[in-house]
A and B are shown apart, each in its own frame.
Chain A
């Protein structure tokens, strides 16, 4: 199968991951334990994009607002729409990343890296420059590692025997939106 067909056929995997992560972020106050990194805090914030249908007939729904106002997005899920993009805040130790994750292609958009002590601005010294570049790379890759670790958590449940049980919990959470 070529990549274009593969992207189309498997886009649901990334979208399901985002929906699961949203549920997971509300399950224990956003705290998720990662094997390699320890505890991280995941918060879904402000901005979401939901999709319904495919190709030319697809509809899109954008929801903005504070965390508590994302009711509309939850209602979107009840209507059968799929979460395609979400603005996420991820905290690990004292570092905080803000980024938009686009589900079907796993694109990281508008990534804001944590502020670090080494943030001294532009420099002409080649060694300092290399240090600055390496620090940025480290922070980008740290974000990548944490998101991949979350994705691995999801996939292991998704292909495992516990998925039915987990899905029931997610459904219950989705359907709560209708009752609120």
Chain B
């Protein structure tokens, strides 16, 4: 968060690849096609997609609300059902105890233990509520750069995949070395590739 208000953290990406001629039609089509699908009423484990930067429940983008000048502003929403391992462990043990008593057996076999764990995990997962996470981005169409408002590595990996899937374009994180390659002329860029660390004392 932070793109729309308050303090913000961001990382820079370059957008690699070509967009078709009718850029805005293409984007309109893809943003909606890859928008977020709610999983509150289903048993799905997770869901990932685009929502409006102003409202995480807006997946319709009326009047191309993602467009601002030559920029595309979107939020990537990721809802995920999670169950902590301590809870799984507790309910697996409880179920094992119940079965031992019911069948009057002293020990549970390995296969049965695996089956119990899988079943309990699924049951708990279905009962848990999806936890939402929203990450903003701002895509500059003029110079093919993108600011992603999170320094979380997992979120960055999800973004790279979802962006590629949605628009067929590759995101390349602009670490200082790559950024320097863009900033310098060809001769200096070659020199940059050859330099080694220097000692500052």
List residues of chain A with CB under 8 Å of any chain B CB. 3, 6-7, 10, 12-14, 16-17, 19, 77-78, 80, 102-113, 122, 126, 129-130, 133-134, 136-137, 140-141, 144, 148, 151-152, 155-156, 158-160, 167, 170-171, 174-175
Residue of A nearest to B143 (CB): A141
Q: Which chain B residues lie closer than 8 Å to A113 at the CB level?
A: 8
Q: Is the CB of A111 within 8 A of B7?
A: yes
> Across chains A and B, which 10 residue pairs bring their CB atoms closest together, nearest first?
A14-B176, A10-B177, A159-B191, A12-B197, A109-B9, A152-B183, A13-B176, A133-B68, A111-B8, A107-B151
B24 CB to nearest A CB, Å:
15
Q: Cβ of B34 < 8 Å from any Cβ of A?
A: no
Q: Which chain A residues lie closer than 8 Å to B54 at the CB level?
A: 129
How many Å lie between the Cα of A160 and that of B140 in the bound state?
32
Residue of B nearest to A7 (CB): B175
Q: Which chain A residues lie closer than 8 Å to B180 at the CB level?
A: 13, 151, 155
Q: Is the CB of B71 within 8 A of A106?
A: no
Q: Is the CB of B177 within 8 A of A140?
A: no
Q: Is the CB of A106 within 8 A of B175?
A: yes
- Show 26 residue pairs from A and B whose CB-CB distance is below 8 angstroms, ordered by the A residue: A6-B175, A12-B197, A13-B176, A13-B195, A14-B175, A16-B197, A16-B198, A16-B200, A80-B201, A105-B176, A106-B12, A111-B7, A111-B8, A111-B10, A122-B5, A129-B54, A130-B68, A130-B69, A133-B4, A133-B71, A134-B69, A140-B3, A141-B140, A152-B183, A159-B192, A159-B195
Q: Which chain A residues lie closer than 8 Å to B140 at the CB level?
A: 141
How many Å lie between the Cα of A133 and that of B151 in the bound state?
21
Q: Is the CB of A105 within 8 A of B192?
A: no
Interface residues of B in 159-197 (CB under 8 A from A): 172-180, 183-184, 188, 191-192, 195, 197
Q: Is the CB of A106 within 8 A of B8?
A: no
Q: Cβ of B125 < 8 Å from any Cβ of A?
A: no
Interface residues of B in 1-29 (CB under 8 A from A): 2-5, 7-12
Q: Is the CB of B11 within 8 A of A105?
A: yes
Q: Is the CB of A170 within 8 A of B4?
A: no
